[in-house]
Structure 1
Amino acid sequence: MEHAEFKYDALKTARLPERLIFGHRPLVLLLFTLATLFLAYQAYQIKPDASFAKLVPQTHPFIQKMNEHMRDLRAAGVSLKVSVAVREGDIFNDEYLATLSQISDEIFYIPGVDKNGLKSIWSPDVRWTMVTEDGFDMGSVIPPDYDGSKESLEQLRLNLNRSGIIGSMVANDFKSTIIEVPIYDTDPTTGEQLNYLEFSRNLEKLVRQSYESENISIHIIGFPKLIGDLLEGIGAIFIFAAVTLLITFVLLYVYTRDLRATFVPLFCSILAVIWQLGLLRLAGYGLNAYSILVPFLVLAIGVSHGVQVINAVALQLGDRGHRLIATRLAFRGLYIAGMTALISDGIGFITLLVIDIGVIQELGIAASIGVASIILTNLVLLPVIISYTSMSKAGVKHMKVDPNRRHKLWSLVSLCATPKVAAISLLVGLAGYGVGIWGGQKMQIGDLDSGAPELRPDSRYNLDNSFITSNYAVSSDILVVMVETPLQACGLYRNIRLIDKFDWYMENVPGVQSVISPADVVRMTATALNEGNARWETLSRRQRVIDGGLANVPRSLMNLDCSLAMVVLFLDDHKAETLERITDEVQSFQQRFGNDQIHFALAAGNAGVEAATNEEIAVAQSQILTLVYTVVAALVFLSFRSLVAVICIILPLGMTSALCQALMAQLDIGIKVATLPVVALGVGVGVDYGIYIFSRLSFYLRRGLPMREAYYLALTTTGRAVAFTGFALGIGVVTWILSPIKYQADMGMLLTFMFLWNMVGALWLLPALATFLIRPTKIPGRATGAAEPAPAEYHQPPGNAKTEG
């Protein structure tokens, strides 16, 4: 009778969302089952998605200029290098050359290869040129009558020395050669994007596994191989997912001591991941090497909110005993705060759309869809399931708060809400801000490591990159400057002379190894036409002489109508400092010497693309920080109608962000495509802690409890769930540190730091701020739900309240 009476009272005060959900529970379960089956089928069909275009800021002037001239930029296209090396001896043996020819033919037929641009020393267009008494003599590097004999091999050696490709296509020690492989990022006939994972696997299977032997080693570098290796790392990510699930299950069981309360939130969080993947597939998206991390983040967020529901249900069961009523009251007390927290998460992730880089935008979309899924699976489905399964008496007893017994840990933590400790906490927090701001000034934009910073230094790709850069004279970091002129004007004396001046100017910029331009070819031709006399290595004022030299300029340095010339800069590295210095010098030269007849435009090549990306990230970094904090603060204000709530919840987040930047500087982790989203992810998730804590704190303050006692009760209810979720979130991503993908390891380290410190800030700094800012007559609490009844034992301060408070 008591339960029926109480149920009637609860129904009278129920709001529309509660009545709709709990008044139609079977229908809710049916709809969720059908939706899950449909979305699981869609998730099963989701595919890896990797595109060169999505990794670069398409609206940046550098990229727009590169796209404008892409047809003429053979040096700027997506390509890779395959180095075939001998461990013993040199390349001048028939066995090596036969293997090189077979590998070249094998690569030729791999889908995605631009067959017209494939080059090796076997290619007919790889030629040698020599000046003789009778004029020019030239031919293919591989002699037409090559038969593998000693004489043919000696002729090959001679031809290579004449060709000028030693150091670029042939190693300086004659122990390896390079096959240059241009790639179609998009198939020109079908319009389909290249499947980088399949392409990389074809290279491994058809080339490396088939031809590598005791004396032959194969080394492959380039954007397609890099993306393929990153996608291969997904297998390791799934291992971490399994480990994370196991650890989370154990932690949940230790927290709840109930298998039902352990399985249900984990099950609903997994459903959120399935929904996210299915909705991504329906929206036309795949999983790229960056957004593949989001499902595991969604799982961790789902578990954190699920724990809040389980915690509230357990407390209500301890008071009411009736599972449906307890679940409804738990839902009533949490859904507004939970919705506020999750909407803050989602909008925080949506702010990533302001960054004009496709993979970051898709990461933000994937995370937002995941959060929307959590709202349904963990705030709607989970309470409905729990209303049927309930919890065991042992679990409820374990989680029940005894009002007559002080919990030592939470009693100690509640000291943070006393004036003396709060004052010290604020001083420590201010010092934390100072350390973060000071240390963050050393944080850099872009990559700080050589090779492919997305992978670990000892990865196969970076070892291959190290081999090629140490055995060839040409750097793998290339920046292409596009010299625009009117039609048939790039070879005019005044223009070619300015290109030559630019060539010399850039060679003297620190960070530039060497420069190749059409002016170099014209000067070398002049030397060759004058019996190789070095004194003639200059630019003639006679246009006909220059025109003769332009006839030898390759397409990679000049287009057919002579309206575009390319100056190729080979750089020491692709660090942000190097790229910034070089692009500044190019722009300075353009401002000083450019005119309406010639324009030095940036930029193409892998280094040019990275320079554009760095500039975009440098701008986006401050935009993201400003936008995400503005949006989150606005949502908190709308929920609590209180500036005090905004200050108490946002300031601890700001300290964590500042300290995270200092940590990045200390660990030599730059702000780049992989780490920039950490700001939005960390703030979006971290705000949950503060919202839940402040919601319960204001709930008890409105009932007349003193600050410390109100905070103690907030700790014993939602606070312990916040502490648990902080550790659960941290453990959910800390396993990423072991990933073979370095940027995932970096994200794991930074997210672990932010999740844990946001939790510490909510439990330590938030009550300190509240102690001095909240006035008894102006206690905020709109987000708690006006109709929420307090548990019976909390209608008055528990015993010891006076002595402890």
Structure 2
Amino acid sequence: MTKLIDFLELVIFRHRGWVIALFALFTGYLLLQATNLRLDAAFTKNIPLNHSYMKTYMEHQKNFGGANSILVSVCDRDSDIFNETFFNRLKEVHDQLFFIPGVDRSQVKSLYSASTRFTEVVEEGFSGGPVIPADFSASDPRGLDLVSQNISKAGIVGRMVSDDFQCAMVNAQLLELDPQTGEQLDTLAFAADLEEQLRGQYEDDEISIHIIGFAKMVGDVADGAKDVLLFFAVAIAITAVMVYFFCKSLLLTVLPLACSIIAVIWQMGLVTLLGFGLDPMSILVPFLVFAIGVSHGVQMINSVGKQVVMGHSAKSGAQMAFRTLLIPGGVALLSDTVGFMTLLVIDIGIIRELAITASLGVAVIILTNLILLPVLMSYVKLGDKYKAKFANKEKRSDHFWETISKCSSPNVAKVILVLVALLFAYGWYQSSQMKIGDLHAGAPALHEDSRYNQDTFLITDKYAISVDYLSVLVETTASACTSHQIMSDIDEFQWKMENVPGVQSTVSLASVAKLINAGYNEGNPKWRVLPRNQQTMVQAISRVDTSSGLLNGDCSVMPVILFMDDHKAETINRVVDAVKEYRQQYEREDLQFKLASGPVGVMAATNEAVKAAQNPMMAYVFGAVILLCLLSFRSLRATLSVVIPLYVVSVLAQALMTKLQIGLTVSTLPVIALGVGIGVDYGIYILSTMSQKLKSGMPVRQAYFDALKERGSAVLFTGITLAIGVSTWVFSSLKFQMDMGILLTFMFVVNMLGAIVVLPALASVFWYKQNSDKKVRK
């Protein structure tokens, strides 16, 4: 390893001009590539495609639509819907939605759809037709009265018309591919079209428009994610001020910031070359790359400053800093990279792209901050004035480090470790109660008072359905809907599910067939049963078209649709567990109840994927950190001194999630890996200096004091700077970014404290033979 470092030092610093020229060339090229970076939020990236639920979903998506649907509620602000203005506006919204590219036109439904029909029992038998007849005129009071009667006959109150008759629904399924381009549907552009062409054109003082669905939610999240640029600018400003106060030099402030920005440019350019885009979640990664880059850059300028104060030239000081920090810095950054790569175990596209994006960014920092930065600093002229300021700062900090070094004295260490053990026990208990999934109604990525969530709450309140529904797909034999036994089993299953808390209403072919059978018998409620005679059963289901979404072409698949109160984790778990329990009573070779389709089916699959990946991800993260620390320090004691504080902090972070009611979701699960990956840097930098001195037989407290003098200022600075940077996220318009900000702030600060306080206490125990109560030599 020493020979390799010697070789790299010789090549890099002998050809400094070429090194800078190569970095400039690659930066220009990758900056050009980064200009082509686009936002990408495809629906399929957000679901675990290999999960059994999603395989069922994809298999039957063509016949029954998917979870990627849009609900548009058109509401009269002052009265009911039966007026000319409302119906004209409803027709305009229906037609406009029909022609927006990306909408499956065969799946657009509203009162104006030809498939929206009513059926009634008359003396001659059945009578029926479209709810809105072809000759309907909204200006004719008699026509409005007729439509009012037809709506009641159609049984669509609560589904297509609100319970208070103040709103009516237009809903549609979306295509996976844009019919105009043949490429993946641009979800963000589609969301913008919805806002501009529906709400923008048709909402006014009389009529309000409310839109919910995956595409609209992602569009609103992307709009909120644009604030990240503001937070990025704020973070740069805050970091610049703090770096200046740390090094007291404008030039030394600019260099680490510039190298970190170059790392961000490289990361974004490489992501573009790989064909990836930035989704609303990975758009936060450039900030993390910048923050990590600055933390390692500060270590470099701090090390060069110390060498210069000791009498070395800027070039020799930069070379010494390069030699000193290449191994610990490289190990820390490799730990970060491998930690992020462990996110690949989560079989969800959006997280896998986050893992690749973050790993690329951190790997690039090895080049920009451990190679380019010391080369640039070798040209810096640090005068006597700077040397005097730096020396005075070091002298003033000696007393502070002497106080902190007491953490490694045996008596103080025992107290610290007892307190840590108590905190760990409390954190373990709290973390065991952490919920997987969303804990609040509405879109969890957005605040409760956001426009999207307010629309969600209105639709949930006014209708008996919502976008929160789960479809249990009943797979059986062809023409099974004419079998009384099979239809009866489906009906009983549906009835049991309808009585599960959290299920608002249900519908299936069996429940509709009972209504039709009653209609054939003068509407008598006593006949609202499934007929045992096969011919009568055929008569009952013949009026249900495949466009209803209740059966496929040969009647071999019939969904049972469960409309739910919300998509909270406990609600989804309760309903899914009930499905798994009740279906065991009915399943046989020719009858299978398959989970799941619908938005809640996607959420259930995602929650299960997150739960399944949680423990393996943590095992891989810590396994990678342990392996790299063992290779670097060649000491089990040193490795445990770094890893134990990290593990305690990760458990405490999960406890914090429980206390703040933050569920473990696609957006919060990566935070634990990110926190561990970045948090390991503090311990590695301190222990890399400390372990060499311990190997030479130096007392633990003296070794720790010397390590603090060399690395402590930079560790404290980076921990505080990183925490302040991400703490600004609490002001984000995105709730998931706010949650990530809170958790990352906690992990940055507490991991830094773990390295400063807990690590030396552990070292006091592991190197107990080298304990000494003597005062440190300054």
Fold match by TM threshold 0.5: yes
Which residues of structure 2 form unaligned runs of 5+?
none
Question: In structure 1, how many angstroms separate the alpha carbons of the residues matched to 2:223 and 2:191?
Answer: 9
Q: What does residue 608 of structure 1 align with?
A: 601
Question: In structure 1, how many angstroms separate the alpha carbons of the residues matched to 2:395 and 2:275?
Answer: 57
Q: What does residue 264 of structure 1 align with?
A: 255
Aligned pair in 2 of structure 1 residues 567, 14: CA closer, same or farther (>3 Å)? closer
Does 2:11 match 1:24?
Answer: no
- Whether the 8 Å CA contact 2:700–2:767 is kept in 1: the answer is no
Q: What does residue 493 of structure 2 align with?
A: 502
Aligned pair in 2 of structure 1 residues 652, 12: CA closer, same or farther (>3 Å)? closer
1:123-134 matches, within 5 Å, as 123-134=113-124
Q: 2:627 aligns with which of 634, 650, 655?
A: 634
Question: In structure 2, how many angstroms separate the alpha carbons of the residues matched to 1:98 and 1:217?
Answer: 13
One-letter identity of the residue aligned with 2:743: L
How far residue 390 of structure 1 moved from its aligned partner, in angstroms, is 4.2
Q: Deviations over 1:439-463 (max 9, x none)?
A: 1122111000001111000000000
1:63-142 matches, within 5 Å, as 63-74=54-65, 76-142=66-132
* Identical-residue share of aligned pairs (%): 46
Question: In structure 1, how many angstroms separate the alpha carbons of the residues matched to 2:286 and 2:300?
Answer: 21
Does 2:721 match 1:731?
Answer: no
One-letter identity of the residue aligned with 1:564: V
Does 2:560 match 1:570?
Answer: no
Aligned pairs, number: 774
Q: What does residue 693 of structure 1 align with?
A: 686
Q: Deviations over 1:740-774 (max 9, x none)?
A: 11011101100110011000000000011111212
Question: In structure 1, how many angstroms separate the alpha carbons of the residues matched to 2:310 and 2:355?
Answer: 41
> Which shows bigger deviation, 570-579 or 389-398?
389-398
Does 2:615 match 1:622?
Answer: yes
- Whether the 8 Å CA contact 1:314–1:400 is kept in 2: the answer is no
Runs of 4+ more than 6 Å apart: 11-14, 401-406
Q: Secondary structure at the match of 1:600?
A: strand
Q: Secondary structure at the match of 1:475?
A: coil
Q: 2:539 aligns with which of 548, 558, 564?
A: 548
One-letter identity of the residue aligned with 1:480: S
How far residue 379 of structure 1 moved from its aligned partner, in angstroms, is 0.7
Does 2:463 match 1:472?
Answer: yes
Question: In structure 2, how many angstroms separate the alpha carbons of the residues matched to 1:563 and 1:403?
Answer: 79
1:144-223 matches, within 5 Å, as 144-147=134-137, 148-187=139-178, 190-223=181-214
Q: What does residue 60 of structure 1 align with?
A: 51
Aligned pair in 2 of structure 1 residues 406, 162: CA closer, same or farther (>3 Å)? closer
How far residue 405 of structure 1 moved from its aligned partner, in angstroms, is 6.7
- Whether the 8 Å CA contact 1:317–1:326 is kept in 2: the answer is yes
Q: What does residue 668 of structure 2 align with?
A: 675
Does 2:517 match 1:521?
Answer: no
> Which shows bigger deviation, 112-121 or 515-524?
112-121
- Whether the 8 Å CA contact 1:686–1:759 is kept in 2: the answer is yes
> Which shows bigger deviation, 392-401 or 255-264?
392-401
Alignment root-mean-square deviation, CA: 2.0
Which residues of structure 1 form unaligned runs of 5+?
1-10, 780-799
One-letter identity of the residue aligned with 2:569: A
One-letter identity of the residue aligned with 1:772: V
1:211-360 matches, within 5 Å, as 211-360=202-351
- Whether the 8 Å CA contact 1:130–1:136 is kept in 2: the answer is yes
- Whether the 8 Å CA contact 1:257–1:394 is kept in 2: the answer is no
Aligned pair in 2 of structure 1 residues 405, 444: CA closer, same or farther (>3 Å)? closer
Q: Deviations over 1:415-446 (max 9, x none)?
A: 11111111111111111211110111221110
- Whether the 8 Å CA contact 1:324–1:387 is kept in 2: the answer is yes
Q: What does residue 5 of structure 1 align with?
A: none
Question: In structure 1, how many angstroms separate the alpha carbons of the residues matched to 2:288 and 2:281?
Answer: 12
- Whether the 8 Å CA contact 1:81–1:180 is kept in 2: the answer is yes
How far residue 581 of structure 1 moved from its aligned partner, in angstroms, is 2.1
Q: Secondary structure at the match of 2:596?
A: strand
Q: Secondary structure at the match of 2:504?
A: strand
Q: Secondary structure at the match of 2:522?
A: coil
Question: In structure 2, how many angstroms separate the alpha carbons of the residues matched to 1:12 and 1:753?
Answer: 40
Aligned pair in 2 of structure 1 residues 392, 682: CA closer, same or farther (>3 Å)? farther
Question: In structure 2, how many angstroms separate the alpha carbons of the residues matched to 1:150 and 1:189?
Answer: 41
> Which shows bigger deviation, 263-272 or 474-483?
474-483
One-letter identity of the residue aligned with 2:735: K
Q: Secondary structure at the match of 2:379?
A: helix
- Whether the 8 Å CA contact 1:352–1:624 is kept in 2: the answer is yes
One-letter identity of the residue aligned with 1:542: N
Q: Deviations over 1:334-385 (max 9, x none)?
A: 0000000000000000000011111111111111000111111111111111
The two structures have a TM-score, normalised by structure 1, of 0.93
Aligned pair in 2 of structure 1 residues 404, 603: CA closer, same or farther (>3 Å)? closer
Question: In structure 2, how many angstroms separate the alpha carbons of the residues matched to 1:363 and 1:87?
Answer: 43
Q: 1:435 aligns with which of 426, 440, 456?
A: 426
Aligned pair in 2 of structure 1 residues 104, 397: CA closer, same or farther (>3 Å)? farther
Q: Deviations over 1:191-218 (max 9, x none)?
A: 4111122111111112112221111111
Q: What does residue 368 of structure 1 align with?
A: 359
- Whether the 8 Å CA contact 2:40–2:188 is kept in 1: the answer is no
Q: Secondary structure at the match of 2:163?
A: coil
How far residue 605 of structure 1 moved from its aligned partner, in angstroms, is 0.7
Question: In structure 1, how many angstroms separate the alpha carbons of the residues matched to 2:702 and 2:723?
Answer: 29
One-letter identity of the residue aligned with 1:261: L
How far residue 89 of structure 1 moved from its aligned partner, in angstroms, is 1.8
Question: In structure 2, how many angstroms separate the alpha carbons of the residues matched to 1:173 and 1:404?
Answer: 75
> Which shows bigger deviation, 110-119 or 321-330?
110-119
Q: Secondary structure at the match of 1:227?
A: helix
Aligned pair in 2 of structure 1 residues 634, 135: CA closer, same or farther (>3 Å)? same
Question: In structure 2, how many angstroms separate the alpha carbons of the residues matched to 1:164 and 1:283?
Answer: 52
Q: 1:143 aligns with which of 116, 133, 139?
A: 133
Q: 2:757 aligns with which of 752, 764, 769?
A: 764
One-letter identity of the residue aligned with 1:307: V
How far residue 775 of structure 1 moved from its aligned partner, in angstroms, is 6.1
Aligned pair in 2 of structure 1 residues 48, 393: CA closer, same or farther (>3 Å)? farther
Q: Deviations over 1:448-500 (max 9, x none)?
A: 00011110000000001011111112233101000001222243121111111
- Whether the 8 Å CA contact 1:484–1:490 is kept in 2: the answer is no
- Whether the 8 Å CA contact 1:46–1:287 is kept in 2: the answer is yes
Aligned pair in 2 of structure 1 residues 552, 400: CA closer, same or farther (>3 Å)? farther
1:432-471 matches, within 5 Å, as 432-471=423-462
Q: Deviations over 1:698-755 (max 9, x none)?
A: 2333455432222112112211100100011111211111111101110110011001
> Which shows bigger deviation, 300-309 or 437-446?
437-446
Aligned pair in 2 of structure 1 residues 469, 392: CA closer, same or farther (>3 Å)? farther
Q: Secondary structure at the match of 2:471?
A: strand
One-letter identity of the residue aligned with 2:332: A
How far residue 412 of structure 1 moved from its aligned partner, in angstroms, is 1.1
- Whether the 8 Å CA contact 2:70–2:172 is kept in 1: the answer is yes
Q: Secondary structure at the match of 1:539?
A: coil
Q: What does residue 651 of structure 1 align with?
A: 644
- Whether the 8 Å CA contact 2:115–2:130 is kept in 1: the answer is yes
Aligned pair in 2 of structure 1 residues 740, 406: CA closer, same or farther (>3 Å)? closer
Aligned pair in 2 of structure 1 residues 533, 22: CA closer, same or farther (>3 Å)? same
- Whether the 8 Å CA contact 1:197–1:232 is kept in 2: the answer is no
- Whether the 8 Å CA contact 1:417–1:767 is kept in 2: the answer is yes
Question: In structure 2, how many angstroms separate the alpha carbons of the residues matched to 1:803 and 1:505?
Answer: 73
How far residue 292 of structure 1 moved from its aligned partner, in angstroms, is 0.7
Question: In structure 1, how many angstroms separate the alpha carbons of the residues matched to 2:726 and 2:410?
Answer: 36
